[in-house]
Protein backbone atom coordinates (compact mmCIF):
# COMPACT_ATOMS: atom_id res chain seq x y z
CA UNK A 1 0.00 0.00 0.00
CA UNK A 2 0.99 3.58 -0.63
CA UNK A 3 -0.46 6.52 1.28
CA UNK A 4 -0.20 9.95 -0.32
CA UNK A 5 -0.05 11.91 2.88
CA UNK A 6 0.01 15.45 4.20
CA UNK A 7 1.09 15.38 7.85
CA UNK A 8 -0.68 18.70 8.50
CA UNK A 9 -4.04 17.19 7.50
CA UNK A 10 -6.06 15.62 10.31
CA UNK A 11 -7.91 13.31 7.87
CA UNK A 12 -4.60 12.08 6.51
CA UNK A 13 -3.25 11.41 10.00
CA UNK A 14 -6.48 9.65 10.94
CA UNK A 15 -6.31 7.41 7.86
CA UNK A 16 -2.76 6.35 8.74
CA UNK A 17 -3.84 5.63 12.33
CA UNK A 18 -6.69 3.43 11.04
CA UNK A 19 -4.30 1.51 8.77
CA UNK A 20 -1.90 1.05 11.69
CA UNK A 21 -4.68 -0.20 13.97
CA UNK A 22 -5.75 -2.68 11.29
CA UNK A 23 -2.17 -3.97 11.04
CA UNK A 24 -1.54 -2.83 7.46
CA UNK A 25 1.94 -1.99 6.26
CA UNK A 26 2.29 0.89 3.85
CA UNK A 27 4.68 3.38 2.34
CA UNK A 28 4.06 7.05 3.07
CA UNK A 29 4.62 9.55 0.28
CA UNK A 30 4.64 13.20 1.28
CA UNK A 31 3.28 14.43 -2.03
CA UNK A 32 3.92 18.06 -1.12
CA UNK A 33 7.68 17.41 -0.83
CA UNK A 34 7.71 14.78 -3.60
CA UNK A 35 5.10 15.88 -6.15
CA UNK A 36 3.75 13.36 -8.62
CA UNK A 37 4.63 13.65 -12.29
CA UNK A 38 1.90 14.08 -14.89
CA UNK A 39 2.16 10.38 -15.73
CA UNK A 40 2.01 9.29 -12.07
CA UNK A 41 -0.96 11.55 -11.41
CA UNK A 42 -2.75 10.30 -14.53
CA UNK A 43 -2.28 6.70 -13.37
CA UNK A 44 -3.46 7.57 -9.87
CA UNK A 45 -6.61 9.22 -11.22
CA UNK A 46 -7.26 6.14 -13.33
CA UNK A 47 -6.98 3.92 -10.24
CA UNK A 48 -9.35 6.22 -8.36
CA UNK A 49 -11.86 6.00 -11.22
CA UNK A 50 -12.57 9.73 -11.15
CA UNK A 51 -12.03 12.80 -13.29
CA UNK A 52 -9.05 15.05 -12.50
CA UNK A 53 -11.35 17.88 -11.39
CA UNK A 54 -12.81 15.56 -8.74
CA UNK A 55 -9.37 15.36 -7.10
CA UNK A 56 -9.08 19.15 -6.76
CA UNK A 57 -9.39 20.77 -3.34
CA UNK A 58 -11.58 23.73 -4.19
CA UNK A 59 -11.10 25.38 -0.80
CA UNK A 60 -7.38 25.92 -1.29
CA UNK A 61 -6.26 29.52 -1.80
CA UNK A 62 -4.29 28.65 -4.93
CA UNK A 63 -7.49 27.24 -6.48
CA UNK A 64 -9.53 30.30 -5.54
CA UNK A 65 -6.85 32.64 -6.83
CA UNK A 66 -5.86 30.86 -10.05
CA UNK A 67 -8.45 28.32 -11.11
CA UNK A 68 -11.94 28.86 -9.67
CA UNK A 69 -13.25 30.69 -12.72
CA UNK A 70 -11.64 28.41 -15.29
CA UNK A 71 -13.13 25.44 -17.05
CA UNK A 72 -9.93 23.54 -17.72
CA UNK A 73 -9.73 20.21 -19.50
CA UNK A 74 -8.38 16.99 -17.99
CA UNK A 75 -4.80 17.68 -19.03
CA UNK A 76 -4.79 21.20 -17.62
CA UNK A 77 -6.19 20.07 -14.26
CA UNK A 78 -3.44 17.45 -14.06
CA UNK A 79 -0.84 20.09 -14.91
CA UNK A 80 -2.28 22.34 -12.18
CA UNK A 81 -1.94 19.58 -9.56
CA UNK A 82 1.61 18.84 -10.66
CA UNK A 83 2.48 22.53 -10.35
CA UNK A 84 0.53 22.97 -7.08
CA UNK A 85 0.31 19.59 -5.31
CA UNK A 86 -1.60 21.25 -2.45
CA UNK A 87 -4.59 21.13 -4.82
CA UNK A 88 -4.83 17.33 -4.46
CA UNK A 89 -7.37 15.83 -2.10
CA UNK A 90 -5.87 13.76 0.68
CA UNK A 91 -5.21 11.22 1.89
CA UNK A 92 -5.09 8.87 -1.06
CA UNK A 93 -4.37 5.20 -0.46
CA UNK A 94 -3.31 2.89 -3.28
CA UNK A 95 -3.33 -0.88 -3.17
CA UNK A 96 -2.45 -2.61 -6.42
CA UNK A 97 -4.65 -1.28 -9.20
CA UNK A 98 -7.17 0.35 -6.86
CA UNK A 99 -7.11 3.60 -4.94
CA UNK A 100 -9.39 5.56 -2.66
CA UNK A 101 -9.55 9.08 -1.29
CA UNK A 102 -9.80 8.81 2.49
CA UNK A 103 -12.74 11.14 2.97
CA UNK A 104 -13.99 10.00 5.36
CA UNK A 105 -10.80 8.29 6.57
CA UNK A 106 -12.60 4.97 7.16
CA UNK A 107 -12.78 4.53 3.37
CA UNK A 108 -9.11 3.53 3.38
CA UNK A 109 -10.07 0.29 5.10
CA UNK A 110 -12.11 -0.71 2.02
CA UNK A 111 -8.89 -1.52 0.19
Active site residue 9: yes
- Please, which residues bridge with residue 88 across strands? 56
Contact yes or no for 93/47 (Cβ under 8 A): no
Contact 90, 81 (CB under 8 A): no
Cα R_g (the chain), whole angstroms: 14
Contact between 65 and 29 under an 8 Å Cβ cutoff? The reply is no
Q: Which of 2, 9, 32, 109 is catalytic?
A: 9
Known catalytic residues? 9
Amino acid sequence: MIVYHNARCSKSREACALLNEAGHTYEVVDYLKNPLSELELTELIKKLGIEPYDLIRKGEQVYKKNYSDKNANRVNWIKAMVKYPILMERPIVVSGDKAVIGRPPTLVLDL
